[in-house]
């Protein structure tokens, strides 16, 4: 395996981690106006992701940094082509982060309602746009011979990519509902399980349809061998995992359901990257203009240095984030509390 192949896999893993972890963050935000019928419930919902949401976004920063260092041509072409969608995502993430910090700074229902709207919008927009963006990466964009984007914004609004946006939205909503069921008690826990049933049915339809469309239409040309079989196999694993999450949620096994949904999202992401390989950004104008792991990568020395640095520091990052989730593993009760009061936690362990 060449180091460029290794870093393509590493970037795929980083995106899978981001979609799994930030996915339930987005899902909780999307469900805030649906399940947060009063201030107490909204407070509890936000408290479930309060200790971890900013740590989850580190996966996005790392994925972007790894792409910039390992595949500079991919980074340059993608960020110039997707400038407007990525700008919208960035603004949404900024507003969402500010909302988490500021909603409790004033004892005013109007104040909190406005920041709650920012949390909802800042979760909904990225949940859709990430799917649209990755759909266009698989679909191919208008790259010329110099790997410059020569299309326009409306080229991104094709049926395949729009289905990708719907798929990520419902998958993240399912992930968020299952996380709420795992982390809360009482009526909120019951309502979250009900929301997960509805989101699960939609996720199976939209997510399954998007993966099926990908395997039949948008795999790299000639991928009928091991890579093509691996992509199909991973898509099948994703479908089985989502079915398992749906069934476990019905039986009240929140821990298993959340784990299965996370596995489904991870497997789906892996299937998409496997279908894309060896391309990193196909051209819809001419296949000869495609960016691949070969012509878009950095020098072998750069990749070697990156590999050494990653092997040294990555375990510490994973251990720290794992420790964070362990510390905040307990359920959060929906007991009445004032807006500025610290979150109340019950010693009841999460269901497994």
Residue 57 located in a structural domain = yes
pLDDT tens digit string along 67-120? 999 999 999 999 889 999 999 999 999 999 999 999 988 888 899 999 999 999
Within a domain: 352: no
Q: To the nearest whole percent, how much of the chain has pLDDT over 70?
A: 92
Structural domain includes residue 340? no
Apex CA 171: angle with CA 209 and CA 268, to 5°? 60
Alpha-carbon distance of 15 to 273, in angstroms, equals 10
233: in domain: yes
Provide the pLDDT for residue 221: 54
Q: State the Cα–Cα distance between residues 85 and 87, nearest whole angstrom.
A: 5
Tens digit of pLDDT for each residue in 112-140?
999 999 999 999 999 999 999 999 999 88
How many CB atoms sit inside 10 A of residue 303's CB?
18
Residues 6+ apart with CB under 8 A from 135: 158, 160, 161, 162, 163, 164, 165, 210
Structure token digits, residue 183: 């982390």
Give mean pLDDT, residues 142-165.
91
Distance, CA of 312 to CA of 164 (rounded, Å)? 35
Residue 63 lies in a domain: yes
Residue 244 placed within a domain: yes
Provide the domain limits for residue 281: 3-327
pLDDT, position 75: 93
Q: What is the CATH number of the domain that holds 225?
A: 1.20.1630.10
Cα distance between residue 247 and residue 35, in whole Å: 22
Domain count, the chain: 1
> Exposed (0-12), middle (13-18) or buried (19+): which is 335, by Cβ within 10 Å?
middle
Average pLDDT over residues 174-183: 95
Residue 338, pLDDT score: 43
DSSP 285: S
Quick check: is 190 in a domain? yes
Backbone angles phi, psi at 13, to 5 degrees: -65, -40
User: Does residue 333 fall inside a structural domain?
Assistant: no
């Amino acid at each position: 395996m060449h180091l460029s192949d290794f870093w393509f896999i590493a970037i795929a893993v980083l995106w899978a981690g981001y979609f799994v972890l930030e996915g339930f963050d987005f899902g909780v935000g999307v469900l805030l106006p649906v399940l947060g019928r009063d201030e107490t419930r909204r407070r509890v919902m936000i408290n479930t992701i309060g200790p971890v949401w900013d740590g989850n976004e580190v996966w996005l920063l790392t994925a972007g940094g790894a792409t910039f260092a390992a595949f500079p041509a991919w980074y340059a072409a993608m960020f110039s082509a997707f400038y407007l969608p990525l700008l919208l995502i960035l603004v949404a993430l900024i507003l969402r982060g500010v909302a988490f910090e500021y909603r409790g700074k004033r004892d005013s229902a109007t104040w909190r309602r406005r920041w709650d709207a920012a949390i909802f919008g800042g979760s909904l927009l990225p949940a859709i746009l990430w799917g649209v963006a990755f759909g266009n990466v698989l679909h191919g964009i208008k790259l010329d011979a110099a790997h410059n984007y020569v299309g326009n914004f409306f080229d991104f609004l094709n049926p395949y990519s729009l289905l990708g946006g719907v798929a990520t939205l419902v998958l993240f909503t399912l992930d968020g509902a299952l996380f709420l069921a795992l982390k809360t008690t009482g009526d909120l826990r019951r309502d979250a399980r009900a929301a997960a049933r509805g989101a699960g049915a939609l996720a199976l339809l939209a997510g399954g349809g998007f993966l099926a469309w990908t395997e039949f239409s948008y795999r790299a040309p000639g991928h009928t061998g091991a890579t093509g079989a691996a992509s199909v196999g991973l898509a099948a694993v994703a479908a089985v995992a989502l079915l398992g999450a749906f069934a476990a949620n019905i039986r009240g096994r929140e821990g298993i359901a959340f784990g299965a949904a996370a596995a489904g999202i991870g497997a789906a992401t892996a299937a998409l990257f496997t279908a894309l390989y060896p391309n990193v950004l196909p051209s819809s104008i001419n296949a000869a203009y495609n960016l691949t792991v070969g012509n878009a990568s950095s020098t072998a020395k750069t990749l070697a240095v990156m590999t050494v640095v990653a092997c040294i520091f990555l375990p510490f990052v994973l251990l720290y984030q794992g420790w964070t989730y362990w510390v905040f593993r307990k359920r959060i009760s929906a007991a009445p509390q004032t807006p500025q009061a610290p979150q109340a936690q019950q010693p009841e362990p999460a269901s497994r």
